[in-house]
Structure 1
């Protein structure tokens, strides 16, 4: 996938929601947050990731920007621009700090695209526009894979959750792809379009049936 192009497009769309949306609107799947808090969170994450690329450590932090629309939008666009510039200047295989198993810049191209992809859904949902969130099956499945291979194992490693009490076989109905989340019995299947599976794993869409019972036994994402 062309990660830089995807990141540019998705950050631009996110900024547009901040620029024209109701900043006081609650974000349905982020309890206690309004669009303002969501915008500031995503700005901070972009700035933090840019520091990981350029300074090689996880210590980057920036002061909050103002919560008025002009400051919020300008701050977000600046952070996204700094991140994009850093990634464009850094070869995908260049060594940088990450929280993943491979300390390469390519990690942040993928991670930040997936980060803002989910939060674009949140931003649109806060405006009653969730139906406008459309991702390709390939991007959706990549996000599913990221949960299975990065976030779920990390949740267990950090002691944030116990392992799933069973295995969920995730099947993308719009791609010839499947993978197992977990490694114990019982094995249950969760089949849906890849983008829907991604939303389910991140708690943005409900899961029904036996898979819901298994997924309820662990926090597979932060």
Structure 2
């Protein structure tokens, strides 16, 4: 596993730029106390504050070379949430754009220690939370996600979060088997064993013999894997216990 994205890194940087702007504009004038649907405990304001904090943490990490312990985690006195987000977004984009995605830098994924990791990670972080803010505000049409970006996000959810993050957490599994994830003519296999979890991009013949499958369109699968759609919003086949285990393990990994 190399961690290489399915989407081009230039495209992912474009996504980070456009989604950051859309997130900020979607939060403008909205009640920060509004609850985020499908994300228990999250509010619109907390979501914006979280993303602005992540931007600053990553920028500080890249500049110093070591993961920071202190950074600006909330707006300064008199600074709006929107301005806090925009300022952090500008600095982050400038920092990433100044470096080739293949250039080495520290990250939290051992197999991908390069700026491209952050291009990808922050593009999807911003996209997911832009949708959160738009759904919470409930006063606008929630924007879509291009298939290319959604498929890359599916890949990231499975190979980074389901595989690596759950491994770091040391999660064990009550159900053991394989679930195939099918969307946009691509397929992945998510494997759950007594000793851990893993997922990989699969060939068509590898899907034969899995215990279960889930299928939907790329945007739907992207949102489902991130818990932004209920468990029943994919087309299931096979062992429903395994499908439930996949969905619930991803909730643990991504929260």
Shared fold, TM over 0.5: yes
Q: 2:214 aligns with which of 170, 176, 190?
A: 190
Q: 1:154 aligns with which of 152, 159, 164?
A: 164
Cα distance between partner residues in 1 of 2:140 and 2:189: 28
Structure 1, unmatched stretches of 5+, are none
- Runs of at least 4 residues off by over 3 Å: 66-70, 183-186, 209-212
Q: 2:55 aligns with which of 38, 43, 46?
A: 46
Note the C-alpha offset of 1:67: 8.5
Contact map agreement 1:50 1:82 (CA 8 A) in 2: yes
- Aligned position for 1:165: 176
Q: CA RMSD in A?
A: 2.3
- Distance change >3 Å, CA 190–CA 69, structure 1 → 2: farther
SS of residue matched to 2:188: strand
Cα distance between partner residues in 1 of 2:84 and 2:151: 31
Note the C-alpha offset of 1:91: 1.4
Cα distance between partner residues in 1 of 2:171 and 2:29: 38
- After TM superposition, the structure 1 stretch with the greater mean CA deviation from structure 2, 5-14 or 158-167, is 158-167
- Distance change >3 Å, CA 188–CA 42, structure 1 → 2: same
Note the C-alpha offset of 1:57: 1.9
Q: 2:87 aligns with which of 65, 68, 78?
A: 78
SS of residue matched to 1:103: coil
Q: 2:118 aligns with which of 108, 117, 135?
A: 108
Structure 2, unmatched stretches of 5+, are 1-7, 194-208
User: Could you give the per-residue CA deviations for residues 150-191 of structure 1, whole angstroms, max 9, x where no partner exists?
Assistant: 11112332135224632221111xx22111111668521111
- Distance change >3 Å, CA 132–CA 8, structure 1 → 2: same
